[in-house]
Amino acid sequence: MSGWRCTGLTYRYPESSRPAVRDLSIDIPAGATTAVLGPNGSGKSTLLRLLLGVIRPSAGTVDFQDRPLATWGREALAREVGVVPQGEEAVFPMSVRDLVAMGRYPHLGAWRREGEADHRAVEDAMDRCDVRDLAARAVPTLSGGERQRARLARALAQEAPTLALDEPTAALDVAHEMAIFELLRDLAHAGRTVLLVTHNLNLAARYADRLVLLDGGRLAAEGTPAQVLTRETVERVYGWPVEIVGHPGPGPDTGAPQVVPLAGDPSIRATRPGEQGHAA
Amino acid sequence: MKPVLRLALLAAAALAAVVLAVRVGAVPLSTREVVDGVRGMGDPTTVAIVRELRLPRAILAALVGGSLAAGGAAFQALLRNPLAEPFILGVSGGAAVGAAMAIVLAGALATSGLVSASALVGAVAAIVFVMRVGTVVGRTLDTRVLLLAGVVAGAFFNACIMLVLTFARTESFRAAIFWMMGSFAGATWRSIGGLALAAVPALLILFALARPLNLLAIGEETAAYLGVRTERVKLLAYGTASLLTAASVAASGVIGFVGLVVPHVVRMLWGPDHRFLLPASVLLGATFVVLADALARTAAAPMELPIGVVTAFVGVPFFLWLLRRRGT
């Protein structure tokens, strides 16, 4: 069974002249971790919103689990895909436990009462994301990292086989960022499909099985991290000189391609080995 | 305390407020006389005071207070704005234009029924207008556009009211102004029946939307990801809360601050869960307005203060305190 499959996917925001996503045909396999990469404004978040059905494509099709996305009801989709959206702020402060409990909505609907299974799902999700101790705290009093973990816990409480995350580690320090990526790896090993949008090329290279690199709304490259993160591709898409090195290890990521941005001065670039220098 | 128990206590408070409101007035009554009066026993004058004057008035006040408070809670979640209240989208303005036109144009022929009907037409016209403006491309209801459209429509209706009043004779002018300040003096069992016919189903629909509203208050996109059919919920909540407000305004004029303040009090005391917030707001709103009306009748007797003055005198200082609290 495939995760998502899109064909000729194009989307233009109503007030924009240029499509944010154009003619994308990609597969996002089930049971794997896929990272969507690309410069600012390359259409990453738009692609994610198209895949999640909150915006409708201007052209092209999206299938989820071999069924047109449009035929999925919101509740049915929410039982399959847990989402950690980018930035959200509740108008009225609520506790972490209440926020996580909202993940049970797709199983309860407007009427059904929470049962034992629902309470267990909420507690388990809080344990996995290490927010159990924060359960009674009001969400606005949390730090950025705690807040993000609470949102991830809400997505886990959905008990959906697929997780979609939009820049889950934006504005997090290195330890919190690593903790989230490690958690995603555990979830992937437990059989979940993970789809995430991120700016962190190096962590994507280490934690994702497949990368999808976008540029100006088009597909620039896709494949394994080694296939996508080549010097030529990264420099072309990001317009910045880089060097690709192997992760020094130790650990499971040893040898994964890591992108090292160089200084902007063209004379430095010219002195790289194998470069035909014409600088002074 | 369990939420159900809390609601039971709030219901008891609302009932006590109604009994108290029926007791006070030019002829003070004991609780015993009130109970006998309701059952039609004892002194015929007391029975008439209870059954024809004070009880319908207190019950109408309770219905209106409950409706406005629930409508306010729904608008605050729907517009994701803590300063939202039932009149924010121009419903009261539309109703006031309707009522003022009826009063000024019909003059002495303007019965309270005619004024109410005209207010209802104005309110519904305002709802339809604001909804059409707020419904942008496709069928999506953009709540930010809705808010702007409502505020602009409200300003326009104010201009209309001033225009109508400019051509009004003194007594019509007075009548229109008094209508806008709100009053339960015209309460009858008929007007209660009319309002209940609209308010009871509307409140039940809002209660049923409690969980989706909880999710909408976090964010529209998040709500969609968690399985809420956001467009349907928004349209239903907006339509229902607006009609609830329209029916209340048609019955008793524009009574401010109940819809703003009561949901905030409930949230501060017991949290933002709409499954509790909505019914608790109904009960607390009812209690507040019944007591405010009792005060309005008795504070400057034999003069009667406009109910809007009493709710605002209590509501404004509270609201300022709330703003300061939010600032810190």
Identify the pLDDT of residue B136. Answer: 66
Would the CB atoms of B221 and A85 count as touching at under 8 Å? yes
B273 vs A54, A98, A103: nearest CB: A98
Identify the pLDDT of residue A279. Answer: 42
Instruction: Tell me whether residue A175 is in a domain.
Output: yes
At position B112, the amino acid (one-letter code) is: S
Nearest chain B Cα distance for residue A178, angstroms? 25
Identify the pLDDT of residue A196. Answer: 95
Identify the pLDDT of residue A274. Answer: 60
pLDDT tens profile A16-52: 888 999 999 999 999 999 999 999 989 999 999 999 9
Average pLDDT score, chain A: 90
Identify the pLDDT of residue A144. Answer: 85
Paired strand residues for A6: A26, A62
Phi, psi (degrees; rounded to nearest 5) at A243: -125, 145
B215 vs A89, A92, A105: nearest CB: A105
Nearest-angstrom CA–CA distance, A190 and B208: 37
Query: In B, which residues are within 8 Å of A92 by CB distance?
Result: 76, 82, 217, 267, 272
pLDDT tens profile A112-152: 888 999 999 999 999 999 899 999 999 989 988 889 999 99
SS (HEC) of B120-135: HHHHHHHHHHHHHHHE
Identify the pLDDT of residue B326. Answer: 60
Report yes or no: B209 at the A interface, CB cutoff 8 Å.
Answer: yes
Mean pLDDT of the region A164-189: 90
Nearest-angstrom CA–CA distance, A122 and A99: 10
**Greatest Cα pair distance in chain A:** 74
Query: In A, which residues are within 8 Å of B229 by CB distance?
Result: 73-74
Whether residue B302 is preceded by a cis peptide bond, meaning omega within 30 degrees of 0, is yes
pLDDT tens profile A4-14: 999 999 999 88
pLDDT tens profile A236-258: 999 998 999 999 988 888 989 99
Nearest-angstrom CA–CA distance, A103 and A97: 10
Proportion of chain A above pLDDT 70, given as a percent: 97
Tell me how many degrees the CA angle A8-A11-A16 measures, rounded to the nearest 5.
145
Report yes or no: A159 at the B interface, CB cutoff 8 Å.
Answer: no
Identify the pLDDT of residue B275. Answer: 94
Mutate to test the interface with B, among A16, A49, A58, A92 (most CBs of B within 10 A): A92
Q: Is the pLDDT of residue A197 over 70?
A: yes
Instruction: Tell me whether residue A257 is in a domain.
Output: yes
Domain coverage including residue A161: 2-270
Instruction: Tell me whether residue A278 is in a domain.
Output: no
Tell me how many degrees the CA angle A27-A28-A29 measures, rounded to the nearest 5.
105
Query: In B, which residues are within 8 Å of A77 by CB distance?
Result: 227
Nearest-angstrom CA–CA distance, B111 and B118: 11
Please tell me chain B's helix, strand, coil percentages from 3-state DSSP, rounded to the nearest 5: 80, 0, 20
Report yes or no: A112 at the B interface, CB cutoff 8 Å.
Answer: no
Helix (H) or strand (E) holding A266: helix A266-270
- What b-and-e string marks burial along B198-207, b requiring 16 or more CB atoms within 10 Å of the CB? bbeebbebbb
Mean pLDDT of the region A267-273: 72
Please state whether beta strands A210-215 and A218-223 pair in parallel, antiparallel, or not at all (unpaired): antiparallel
B217 vs A90, A95, A109: nearest CB: A90
Report yes or no: A109 at the B interface, CB cutoff 8 Å.
Answer: yes
Considering its fold, how many domains does chain A have in total?
A: 1
Identify the pLDDT of residue A1. Answer: 63
What is the crossing angle of helices A144-157 and A174-189, to 10°? Answer: 10
Tokens 């407007």, located at residue: A110
Instruction: Provide the 3-class DSSP secondary structure of residue B42.
Output: coil
Would the CB atoms of B208 and A54 count as touching at under 8 Å? no
Q: Over chain B (328 residues), what is each successive 10-residue block's mean pLDDT?
A: 91 97 92 91 90 94 97 94 88 92 82 88 91 72 85 92 89 88 89 94 96 92 94 92 93 90 90 94 96 92 87 80 66
CATH number for the domain that contains residue A262: 3.40.50.300
Query: In B, which residues are within 8 Å of A78 by CB distance?
Result: 225-227
Structural domains of chain B ordered from first start: 3-327 (1.10.3470.10)
Instruction: Tell me whether residue A200 is in a domain.
Output: yes
Instruction: Tell me whether residue A169 is in a domain.
Output: yes
Identify the pLDDT of residue B138. Answer: 55
Identify the pLDDT of residue A27. Answer: 93
- What b-and-e string marks burial along A79-107, b requiring 16 or more CB atoms within 10 Å of the CB? bbbbbbbeebebbbbbbbbbbbbbbbbbb
- The rounded Cα A71 to chain-centroid distance in angstroms is 24
Identify the pLDDT of residue B181. Answer: 86
Paired strand residues for A82: A163
Nearest-angstrom CA–CA distance, B328 and B226: 33
Query: In A, which residues are within 8 Å of B77 by CB distance?
Result: 91
Nearest-angstrom CA–CA distance, B37 and B46: 6
Would the CB atoms of B226 and A78 count as touching at under 8 Å? yes
